[in-house]
Structure formats: structure tokens, C-alpha cells
Homo-oligomer: A and B are copies of this chain.
Amino acid sequence: MNQKIARFFEEAKPVTPCLVVDLNVIAENYAAMRGALPDSDIFYAVKANPSPEVLRLLANLGSNFDVASPGEIDEALKAGARPARISYGNTIKKQADIAYAYQKGVRLYAFDSEAELKKLAAAAPGSRVFCRILTDNEGAEWPLSKKFGCMPDMARDLLMMAPKLGLVPYGISFHVGSQQTDPDQWDRALEAAAGIFRDLREKGIELDMVNLGGGFPTRYLKDIPAMSIYGGKIIDAIRQRFGNRIPRTIIEPGRGMVGNAGVIQSEVVLISKKSANDNKRWVYLDIGKFGGLAETMNEAIKYPITSERGGEEGPVIIAGPTCDSEDVLYEHAAYQLPLDLEIGDKVSIHAAGAYTLTYASVAFNGFAPLKAYYI
């Protein structure tokens, strides 16, 4: 934990559970991404953390915004983003929501199906549209299902259909999987994208843009490659796949932009064993799967969890405070906490800046949603 966040906890003594986000870290991440991929435009994935403080900071730094809903469009505009800097990246949109975005000035839209393309033609005429293609997500810790994207053949057909519908066929997007720890994963998707560019060029359609998606990781328990490594590998792959006709590229970092900027402080509510000779302690925290830590689902994201006590550690099962038996954070992952940990102690849940705040349930079991502080 950085000094600034540590000092905040020490001085403000906020009620737990709470998330504290250091905006400087986000600014540093933004700079690192700019440096690693200087020719790519950054579209921050608002869903990772849509707080006004985060959006205002990024808008001031010159970021663009990838949004998922009218609610996120409103937040981005309120933070000072111009509509031209917004991409409506959700491939699943109600036609009324597209019309809302269009009325607000948004002119860049994702799609992955004929039906969605037709909705865009009806509600956002003349807009730039990009088609998301399916990729396989080796190496991702939060791998994507087939929910988004279509096969490249279909993408080609749909992009060819776009001009007839009064839309501008603008490009291709893909996503290599969230928390992607293998920087080589972009290459295969870029190969597919370049193939579509070539095929369409032969048909007289010139695409402009490749949306490289998100996937840039944040450091949880394991080390991750530096952003500069991702940048180098991706730039090499773009050059190799596109040769002398380099398209505009954009990235949609969410987790990689805000993940390591946040720390959740939580209180130990109970430490217990199930029988006298149980060899693991159960440690129950005042935050769980339904209070903001939804990404612990199936123990996918493994947040580092630390206590200030420095002594010897022993194995624990870590669970949340609700009466839901599914609200167990880590049972199979081999978490350890100090043997002298006590009820009432605070623990820190690190790298919790992304996908926590808005995942919290409205009132499950009568517990209030996660509070947050921006410093």
C-alpha cells in the first residue's frame, strides 16, 4: 500500500468496509499507457470505476471513454468528456438507448450482429460502427465467454452491409480477456483483424480503426509484465500484421487503469474453527462477494489481503459477512494470515480499484453498499 493511502486510513479512520482510491496512481497508469502505446488512443472503460473523481481526472488528462449504457454516457459527459470522445462499446443496446446516445452526440458504436447493426442504422444514422470479433482468451484470469463478438466471416459480411444501411464501416474490435497476463495474445487477434481489413479493401471498403480492447492487468498476487512490455509486443504485432498501412488503434483499459489505485479496508468480524481439531481458521470479513468483491466468484481474482500484524502466518478460509453460504471469498486458494490476527483487526484488500464499487449489491442482507474515498 502506498504512503498516501496508508496515511489516509491512519488519520481519517473511515468506517469499514471502504475503498480508498489514490488518483495519482491513476494518473501514473495513464502516463504509462500513453508511453507504452503512444500512437493508440485511450478509451477508459468507465465500468471499471465510474466515480466522478476518476472520470474528471481522466477527462482532464485527455482520455476518451468507453461506455456501456446511457448512465455511463451521462457520467462521462458530466465529467467533461466531449461526445466525440465517447465510444458506446456495449454490443447489446436497446434501440432507445442508442437513440439517447445519438441525441447526446455519440457517433461511435460497437456491434456484433445484424440485428444490432440495424438498430444502429435506425437510431444513429451516419455513425461510425465497428464490429467485435470473437477471439480465444488463453492466459486471461477473467476469461471472456463467447458472449461478445462474432466469427470473422460474419464480421466481414456485416461491415459490408453497413454502408447500404447509411453507416460508416469504421473498424474491428476484439478483447483478449480481462487480466490478460500474456502480452503475446494480441497478435493472433490482430492477424484476424488484418485479414478482414484486406478482404474488405478488395471489396472497396477501407476500414480505419482497430480497437485493441482492454485486458491490461493489474498486479494481484502474481507479478505481471510491465505496461511497456505490452506496448512493445502490441506495436510489433500491429507492424507485422498491417505492414505499411497502420490503422488508427484504440485501447480500452479499465482494470489496468484503476485496479492498483484502490485499497479496501475491512474489519475482521469473526475468526473461528468448525471443530476443536480444525487445521484452518475461518476468517470472516465485513466485506464479501455481495459487498463489492464479486470478482472473487469462483476465486477468479485473487486480491492480496494483508494485516498489519507481522508474525507467523497460518492457513485461512476467508469469507464475507452475509448469511449467504456462497459468500466465501477464498476456500481453495491457499491464503495465509497471521496467527495472531484478532477480531476487530483491520485488513487491507489491495488492487481493489476496479470492478468493486459498482458491483456492490444495493442492500443484500441489509448491508449498505461499499463507500469510497478519492484522495
Q: With A270-B116, A294-B290, A368-B71 as given contacts, are A275 and B151 in contact (CB-CB < 8 Å)? A: yes
Interface residues in A139-181 by Cβ distance below 8 A to B read: 142-151, 153-154, 157, 178
A276-306 interface bits toward B, Cβ cutoff 8 Å, 1 = contact, 0 = none: 1000001010100010001001100000000
A92 touches B366 (CB 8 A): no
> Which of chain B's residues have a CB closer than 8 A to the CB of A94?
267, 269, 286
B68 touches A113 (CB 8 A): no
CA of A284 to CA of B148, assembled, Å: 11
List the B residue with the shortest CB-CB distance to A254. B323
A61-91 interface bits toward B, Cβ cutoff 8 Å, 1 = contact, 0 = none: 0000001111111110000000000000111
- Interface range, A side: 35 or more
Interface residues in A32-49 by Cβ distance below 8 A to B read: 45-47
**A229, CB-defined interface residue at 8 Å:** no
> Which of chain B's residues have a CB closer than 8 A to the CB of A336?
none
Q: With A94-B286, A359-B290 as given contacts, are A147 and B325 in contact (CB-CB < 8 Å)? A: yes
CA of A357 to CA of B114, assembled, Å: 33
B319 touches A275 (CB 8 A): no
A271 touches B115 (CB 8 A): yes
Q: List 25 A-B contacts (CB under 8 A).
A: A47-B322, A47-B323, A47-B364, A68-B365, A69-B365, A71-B363, A90-B321, A90-B322, A90-B323, A94-B269, A94-B286, A95-B344, A112-B272, A143-B325, A145-B328, A147-B328, A150-B275, A154-B273, A154-B275, A157-B276, A178-B325, A290-B294, A290-B359, A357-B362, A362-B369
Which 6 interchain pairs have the tightest Cβ spacing? A71-B366, A113-B272, A72-B366, A144-B325, A69-B366, A151-B275
Given A47-B365, A94-B269, A358-B361, 5 new contacts (CB under 8 A): A47-B323, A93-B270, A113-B270, A148-B325, A362-B362
- List the interface of chain A (C-beta within 8 A of B): 45-47, 50, 67-75, 89-95, 112-116, 119, 134, 142-151, 153-154, 157, 178, 267, 269-276, 282, 284, 286, 290, 294, 297-298, 319, 321-328, 331, 343-344, 357-369
